[in-house]
Structure 1
Amino acid sequence: MARTFDPFRDVDQLFSQALRTPASTAMPMDLYREGDNYFVKIDLPGVDPATIDVDLDDSQLTIRAERKPQAGEGVQWLTRERPVGQFARQLTLGKGVAAENIDAEYTDGVLVLTIPVAEAAKPRKIAVAHKADSAIEGSVEG
């Protein structure tokens, strides 16, 4: 069956593909804080765990991964929406995190980075000292 020409569908599809950034499409991410940790959850289904690389350079956290095509030669694609290739995301960490204690775990196609809040950035109580009024002694001449 021949495909009919639909200029609106074709233009919409073209813009959708052009505006889609490879990182956000290939590596969708959630970032949130819970208690004393920040959590970064990145969907990486079908990625070989050996290709996942997490680097920290000063305050730049870089996550790289690769998804290899699984179909062999001679395949005629009818629809191909799952991105393949190498992907990367970068996050700039603030000074309020304990970068030396970042933990990374990959389970069921999801990479979870746990980034602890630095001790200096945690809320704390400050004690208020109370000094009693002191009487001023002196003589009054009259």
Structure 2
Amino acid sequence: MSYDDVFERMRKRALRIMRDIMSDFDEMEAWMRSMVDDLEEEMRPEQLFEERLKELRSGVLSPLISVHDRGDHLVIVVDLSGSDPRTVDVRLTRDRIAVRAQIRSEALRKAYGQVSWARKVSYYSGEQVLPEPVDPRTAKSELKGGVLIITVRKASS
């Protein structure tokens, strides 16, 4: 076998490898595009914007609620910044949490200044389905700096 044959085989093999790599890149690009399309489909920025405008017009803000699974219990964190701690009302059932709290007017003035629509905002109100059933009787809550933290045991099956 001559050197030319060896180099020709190496060249053909390198071309096959490059074709395979390019094919993999094409598949990854198609996958990434479909992911981006799915995200755009789910997020719908114009819908989110409309929801926020609706909140402001109605005077009710949805609090940010996040739920963290810690094995045998859930930790639920609710952002109620600027709320009056005496007005926080939590309704915890086996499968959902609902929260409502009055927003202090001085907190609104500080956050929004003299914006006219801000004077209409008066409370937080929101609800979220929990990822797993819980036993509401085991709930313990703590409100610190406008953040409500609730620890609750999962319901036994």
Normalised-by-shorter TM-score class: 0.5 to 0.7
Counterpart Cα distance in 2 of 1:35 and 1:58: 17
Counterpart Cα distance in 1 of 2:132 and 2:49: 36
Does the residue aligned with 2:127 lie in a helix, a strand or coil?
A: strand
Counterpart for residue 74 of structure 2: 38
**2:153 aligns with one of 108, 116, 129:** 116
Does the residue aligned with 1:47 lie in a helix, a strand or coil?
A: coil
Q: In the alignment, is residue 19 of structure 1 matched against residue 79 of structure 2?
A: no
What's the offset of the Cα at 1:65? 0.6
Counterpart Cα distance in 1 of 2:91 and 2:143: 15
Does the residue aligned with 1:106 lie in a helix, a strand or coil?
A: strand
Are the structure 2 counterparts of residues 57 and 115 from structure 1 closer, same or farther at C-alpha, using a change threshold of 3 Å? Answer: closer
Counterpart for residue 124 of structure 2: 87
Counterpart for residue 134 of structure 2: 97
**2:114 aligns with one of 68, 77, 94:** 77
Does the residue aligned with 1:100 lie in a helix, a strand or coil?
A: helix
The code of the aligned residue for 2:143 comes to Y
The code of the aligned residue for 2:97 comes to L
The code of the aligned residue for 1:40 comes to I
The code of the aligned residue for 2:114 comes to W
Does the residue aligned with 1:22 lie in a helix, a strand or coil?
A: helix
Unaligned runs of 5+ in 1: 1-13, 122-142
User: Among the aligned pairs, what percent are the same residue?
Assistant: 23
Does the residue aligned with 2:105 lie in a helix, a strand or coil?
A: coil
Counterpart Cα distance in 1 of 2:74 and 2:92: 16
Counterpart Cα distance in 2 of 1:26 and 1:83: 14
TM-score, length of structure 1 as denominator length = 0.55
TM-score, length of structure 2 as denominator length = 0.51
Counterpart Cα distance in 1 of 2:51 and 2:72: 36
What's the offset of the Cα at 1:92? 3.6
